Structure 1
Amino acid sequence: MAILLEVEEPVPPTPPPPQWRAFLELGFRPLYLAGCLWAALSVLLWVYAPQALTGPLGGVAWHAHEMLWGFIATIAVGFLLTAGANWTGINPLHGKALGALTALWLLARVGYLVPDTAGFWLAACGETLFFATAAVALGRSIYQARSKRNYGIPVLILGLGAANVLYLHTVLQGDYALLLARFNLGLLCMAVIALLVARRVIPFFAMRAVAGLDIPMHTRSGQWQLGAGVLAIALLLADWMPGAGLALAATGVLTCWQLLAWRPWAVRRVPLLWILYVGYAALGIGLLVAAAHAAGWVPRLAWPAHVIGAAGFAVLIIGMVTRTALGHLGRPLRTDRSMVAAYALVIAAAALRLAALLPTAWAMGVLHASAAAWILGFALYLWRFFPLLIRPRFDQRS
């Protein structure tokens, strides 16, 4: 009897093989992987093997530095190099130049772990070159394209690098009070960058993902927000804490007001969006906590540092590194279970880290639980995205 109909199951397309050219195509590929890997490894070292941190940059100074400049700032640089290519049509760094930038980052991470001064200086020079190279490359593409609204971004990256130099110099001086002030300066420089980027991309992402959603971009309030943040940086440098506190409070209030105007309830069913809203909310609250710290109402810097850093930056980052990676890799803008689990783990890690600051008998156990959730969250991201980031876009394979 003749076969009239033959039905075959669809065969999943074979993914393209890993490719160095693709891996070094845009800044987000190596730097997202490097930053998220270091987020997990550095917390693993800090919580479970602190005895290994014996270099000149050791102990809590190493932990604070590596969280801010080794992890958070690295993701920011990767995002900005990638976004810069979209803003200007000119790819700031790719190929061997991007590989060299990543090598500078790696040199810094290894050098700070070496238990002698030579390793410290090598790491400090490599890291300074990392921020300077990223700022110059981004600035060259922005100024060449006459992208005037982005002229300030390379300056902010240079400011972040300069704050890092001041922090490292203070480490060698051994002045703990000044070290806290330098860390605060770097934290605020990073906050200004995060606010600038998030205020642009969150409304854009939300209106693209939710049908009929129309939310304001808040350009005017964003200018006031940026101005207040820069003013707070200047007042911190001048060591006028009452004025810095007022500027921080204004920045935080504007951030929370913007978030409410973005209609957060409308994105509750879209994980790629609500994770960004949660991070932006935590950043705004963290700035208000920082204002309270500047006023002397919150005695410990650990509170604003962890509300802004763990609850604000880290939650924004786990959302950004998934949403932007999916977009630039040509993948569907949908989450799967592993991504949502990573979101939940990072949020839990932030909440537990704040709980560990409370003076209770369970503080150490809560801290270890926070570290475990943090490591698992970023490990899930790496497990899900590493195979994608080392391969060409599926729609570009030859």
Structure 2
Amino acid sequence: MLSKKSRPVIEATLPLVGSRIGEITADFYKRLFAAHPELLDGLFSRSNQRSGEQQRALAGSIAAFATHLVNNPGTLPEAVLSRIAHKHASLGIKEEQYGVVYEHLFAAIGADLADVITPEIAEAWTEVYWLMADALIKIEKGLYAAQANDRMWTPWRVTAKSPAGADALTFTLEPADDTPVTAARPGQYISVKVQLPDGLHQVRQYSLSADAGTSRTFTTKLNDGGEVSTALHNGVKPGDVLEISNPYGEITLRDGDGPVILASAGIGCTPTASILRSLAAAGTNRDVLVLHAERSMDSWALSGQMTADAAKIDAELQLWLEQPQHGAKPGLMSLRDVELPADASLYLCGPLPFMKKIRDEAVDAGIPATRIHYEVFGPDVWLAN
């Protein structure tokens, strides 16, 4: 809880700090990497740094956390914290690194707001930072403790590398040592670490796209300019060993017997395909509606798997194609003409504009926001906003 002393200070300065937080976080990362260049080797994504997505995500999450503390005294934004904590744990963030972040973040705040900042303002924002950091540290410790092992990276051997639609590949892996394996939940992701030609290690998160449990299968699309996807597609072959993390991610299939809607676009079908596979494997009696949007039929990375799994449980499958084919709806997905089951839970993944549109339409159709669960690939600039 934000102290009575700090709350009015944060409330008064939030508009100013919020308006400057983008510039502050950009300066923060410059300071951080100047002091600790090793953090770019296997931790921070230099692609996300170049695009500015990481800066926007950090800026937005800080502002969102502070806003919640002001507007909802006595509570914490659980959704914000859980999503960030899972991503941090998938990267192996350590408790002591929060002190490093604090040092350089508040140096950037002091430099940007030098004309207005006072000891009282600095103290209040320090309180906000450590409330957020301490909450994340607690969640992350719990996530680490829940794993079957205490290792950040374990070796897994690639047993198959299979085409999965245009410009996409599915990698199937098996353990390469005897490290205990954590059972993954449908919809979760793993981090994959690769070494690039310049010697730097980079990490990306990939949703498990088939069976969960103790198996590991992920599907990745080749991104233009993407460093890790290029390395995986062009440099990894069956028999090679990859370093991967334990499974993380809070967007998983919830228990219950109510209807389920799985809506995806493009390579966003990977987590929904995993959830659909788990429902099919269990022989679920739940009503399941599968919605997917693609440029063309050839682009649908997991078409065979999802079609077969939907058929096993008599799930309704609706497809939208920008390049229409028989049996598919033309153009972009819309829920306006879809009959949505009452009391359904919606699981959503795809490009950000797609998810915003579908979420808005789902809310308009009467699905409560609390029943809409979404996964963002990369820094979550939507949650921050």
Fold conserved between structures, TM > 0.5: no
- TM-score normalized with structure 2 length: 0.26
Structure number with the higher helix fraction is 1
What TM-score, normalized to structure 1? 0.26
Q: Which has the higher strand share?
A: 2
